[in-house]
Amino acid sequence: MKNRRNIATLIFFTFFQIIYVTANGQKANSSQIEPLPKGWRPTGDARKDYKMGVDKKAGQKGVDAITIKSEADKIKGFGALANYIKIDKYLGKRIRMTGYMRSEKVDGWAGFWLRVDDSTSHDKRVLSFDNMYDKAIKETTDWTKCTLVLDVPKNGTTIVYGALLSGKGQIWFDDIKFDLVGGEVPVTRASR
């Protein structure tokens, strides 16, 4: 009799989980956030207010996704993740970064960012930059394709990219790619 109750309970919760996932179209957010992949590092003026890492199988098509999730009740500032790519083949050319992002209850804004620096100068100059502020991800969204396009000046020394979350909420991102584009593709840049 006890085994029948346990089996009935298991069937009920399995059925409930199937209904929940089907209705929401996403996996429930009960997974553990694992450490960041090699090369990624936390940054941002409020980075201590966020949990950042890999959310297993939370990406598109069940792949892993990197996530930034707020943990503080009040946040003034942003948390971000940064990574680098080799600049050599992009010098003097136009680069396009594409990636996909999903959000949940973002009360500020979120987006990808891309920056080209000149690290040879004493004060490390930013040569080109976009952080999607003008086309930000807000509130709750499904997977959205995002594109940033910048010129890479010949005096550039570093290409830095990543994602950021300003305020409370959570974002997931995956499938970031870089390619060269011609002059017919307009650059995007943050307004200042």
Residue 25 has pLDDT above 70, yes or no: no
Q: For residue 33, give the amino acid letter.
A: I
Arithmetic mean of pLDDT, 65-94: 96
Q: Over pLDDT 90: what percentage of the chain?
A: 77
- The pLDDT assigned to 141 comes to 98
User: What is the pTM (predicted TM-score) of this model?
Assistant: 0.81
Containing 99, the helix (H) or strand (E) segment is strand 94-118
Q: For strand 41-43 and strand 137-151, is the pairing parallel, antiparallel, or unpaired?
A: unpaired
Query: Is 13 or 38 the better-scoring residue by pLDDT?
Result: 38
Query: How buried is 177 (Cβ within 10 angstroms: 0-12 exposed, 13-18 middle, 19+ buried)?
Result: exposed
- The pLDDT assigned to 29 comes to 45
Query: Is 70 or 14 the better-scoring residue by pLDDT?
Result: 70
Q: Exposed e or buried b for every residue in 78-91, given b needs 16+ CB within 10 A?
A: bbbbbbebebeebe
Question: CB count, 10 Å around CB of 11?
Answer: 10
Q: For residue 81, give the amino acid letter.
A: L
